[in-house]
Structure 1
Amino acid sequence: MLHIEWAPIATVAAKEFRDRLRNRWVLAVALVFAAFSLVIGYFGGAQQGEIGLRSAEFVIASLVSLVIYLIPMIALLLGFDAIVGERERGSLDLLLAYPLTRLELLLGKYLGLAAALTLSTLAGFAAIGILLFAHFGVSVLDQCVRFVVTSVMLGLSFLSLAMLLSAVARDRASASGLAIALWLFFVLIFDLLLLGLLVASGGNVGGPELAGALLLNPADLFRILNVFSLDAVRDLYGLASVVPPALANPWVLGSAMLAWIVGPLTIAIWRFRA
């Protein structure tokens, strides 16, 4: 049975969080999110000849693409050297000389980085959320909350993957290469492979099998959780014909996203303690 002391975990987490505040990482990421979200919110409909906040549904649907590209990259860059960086600098043995287990060290680092990522995400999307609320009223509250919560969950899932990479990599160069490869696979290559399989099979492979494969990608889970719930735009993404009603259940998709947070982190803990 594992024995965990939360005091050293909180100490490590607080240090990681303070470091990100001190080097202005949280501020920089929040400003990036705020700037991009405001630009997309106001100019996302320019190609249709419209400028301004058209509707909350179209603004959020446009922001989904931004989040899928940016948040996984930021989370991977944030956590890829959390463990291997300490090992390469020679400070890992020093940290473990304190009354601190490997499990407590990894959990502390993850929680501190997760807090920094969560704060930057919330702060970054606060501006567009306030504008949507002021423009469209309380009716947008549910959509905005869903979007922000799932954005945080997407970031935490890729942060868990980053911690796993950091626990298994031999050095920072290997970890950074794996992080880039992971981002390319989940954000770009995965959907292309599914589309290629669908085309190559002449449409014979699809339906529940294809929809089930989407559970294997946290970026696709995030997209479905947000876009499938917006009746006005889900047909534009082709999700209405791909995702069966059973997998359109937000509780099912949310549980799958939670598994992407817990699963890689659990493997990272196992690997780091081995």
Structure 2
Amino acid sequence: MKFLAVVQREFQENVRNHKFIFLVMFIFGGILMALYTEVGPTANSKNVLDPFFELFAILCPLIGIFSAMDSVVGEKEKGTLELVLSKPISRTSLLFGKFVTYVLIIVPLLVAELVIAYYWAQFSGISTLRWHLDMPPFGQWMSMVGIVTMVSMYYVALTILISLFARSTATAGLMGVVFMAPAHPLGGEFLRIAGTMVGITDFGQVPVLIRCVFSVFSKYQKFAMTSPLDAWICVISLLLLTAFLLFISGQIFNRQNITFRM
């Protein structure tokens, strides 16, 4: 019951400070950008999935970062962390409650709006009349939805960990953006160069355990959408990494001095 009380408190706080509305509009705005701008499709785009993924591979990390960058350091800045922990609530419950709240806000919005976008692109004729691109099979589209959803959850957990050490909310946000490097095309270029050095030109040649590590790179995530096996590897790996980050965050938070000093 204490855990549920934390989730309820955090949800009310996110509604009160308008973060919930911001996330709704951020995700919705991303979908509008993917549907109605000319910059989405490229010369290599084979169907509507390509421009959507290229955009959301960047937006989903930002969604996770913006959601959680004030998770701990924000409480310290407001002076409410000591007050909250003075109640019979464990630090672990508080931390996990914050994570679950962010996930309950992000995941339904992301999944619902991306599924609606899939059918709207067909119904409105955007895919054929505007872009002259085919719609992918629904199963492949849901692979993208599953992967980008896990990406956003991973960055929520990563940003919570960063927030434990940051001196301000702004610092936590900036540090989170720095850790977005694997989602950036620069991360894909790093993989290409590393692969060339060892004579690997395709992810199919990479051992499964190494692919698990590559799951944080958008270049591998895009490849995973074309292979059901790799899609599962990517989703499960991101889920395990998220759980590991939460475990580490809980261990650190339980031992951390919560007194905030400028």
> TM-score of the superposition, structure 1-length normalised?
0.73
Identify the residue that residue 215 of structure 1 maps to in structure 2.
213
User: Does 1:16 find its partner at 2:10?
Assistant: yes
CA, structure 1 residues 204+161, in 2 after alignment: closer, same or farther (shift >3 Å)? same
Identify which of 74, 88, 109 aligns with 1:120.
109
Is 1:194–1:210's contact at 8 Å kept on the other side of the alignment? no
The answer to whether 1:40 aligns with 2:38 is no
Distance 2:21 2:101 in 1: 16
* Conservation of the 8 A alpha-carbon contact between 1:8 and 1:108: no
Secondary structure, in 3 states, of the residue corresponding to 1:218? coil
CA distance, structure 2, for counterparts of residue 128 and residue 149 of structure 1: 15
SS at match of 2:180: helix
Q: Deviations over 1:49-76 (max 9, x none)?
A: xxxxx9xx71122211111111101211
Q: Per the alignment, do residues 194 and 211 of structure 1 end up closer, same or farther by CA in structure 2, a change over 3 Å counting?
A: farther
C-alpha displacement at 1:157, in angstroms?
A: 0.8
What's the offset of the Cα at 1:8? Answer: 1.6
Q: Is this contact kept in 1: 2:41–2:50, CA < 8 A? A: no
1:163, distance to aligned residue in structure 2 (A): 1.0
1:57-105: CA deviation from partner (whole Å, max 9, x where unpaired): 7112221111111110121121122012212322111110011000011
Structure 1 residue 252 displacement after superposition: 2.5
Contact 2:211 2:233 survives alignment (8 Å): no
Q: Does 1:94 align with 2:83?
A: yes
- The one-letter code sitting in structure 1 at the alignment partner of 2:53 is V
Moved over 6 A (4+): 44-48
Structure-2 change in CA distance of 1:152 and 1:197 (3 Å): closer
Quote the residue 2:146 is aligned against.
149
Opposite residue 100 of structure 1, the aligned amino acid is: I
1:108, distance to aligned residue in structure 2 (A): 0.7
In the alignment, residue 9 of structure 1 is paired with which amino acid?
A: F
Q: Is the 8 A contact 1:96 1:102 kept in 2?
A: yes
Q: 1:264 aligned to 222, 245, 248, which one?
A: 245
Greater CA drift, 139-148 or 87-96: 139-148
Q: What letter is aligned with 2:66?
A: L
Residues 68 and 219 of structure 1 are in contact (CA less than 8 Å); yes or no, is this contact kept in structure 2?
Answer: no
The answer to whether the 8 Å contact 1:80/1:162 transfers is yes
CA distance in 1, matches of 2:251, 2:10: 22
Alpha-carbon offset, residue 175 of structure 1: 2.2
- The whole-number CA distance in structure 2 between the counterparts of 1:37 and 1:58 is 16
Q: CA separation in 1, counterparts of 2:21 and 2:224?
A: 27
Q: Quick one: structure 1 residues 208 and 46, their matched pair in 2 at CA, closer, same or farther if it must change by over 3 Å?
A: closer
| Structure 1 unmatched ranges of 5 or more | 1-6, 49-53, 231-247
Between the aligned residues of both structures, percent identity stands at 19
Moved more, 93-102 or 74-83: 74-83
Structure-2-length-normalised TM-score: 0.76
Q: How far 1:139 moved relative to its partner? A: 8.4
Deviates most, 71-80 or 180-189: 180-189
**Within-5 A mapping of 1:54-203:** 58-132=47-121, 134=123, 140-199=137-196, 201=197
Residue 199 of structure 2 aligns with which residue? 204
CA-CA distance at 1:214 after TM superposition? 6.7
Q: Are 1:34 and 1:126, in contact at CA under 8 Å, matched by a contact in 2? A: no
Shift in Å, 1:26: 3.3
SS in 2 for 1:125: helix
Give how far 1:41 is off: 3.6
User: Does residue 225 of structure 1 match 2:224?
Assistant: yes
Q: Is the 8 A contact 1:29 1:124 kept in 2?
A: no
Q: 1:161 to 1:30 in 2, by over 3 A?
A: same
One-letter code of the match for 1:225?
Answer: A
**Which sections of structure 2, spanning at least 5 residues, go unmatched?**
128-134, 256-262
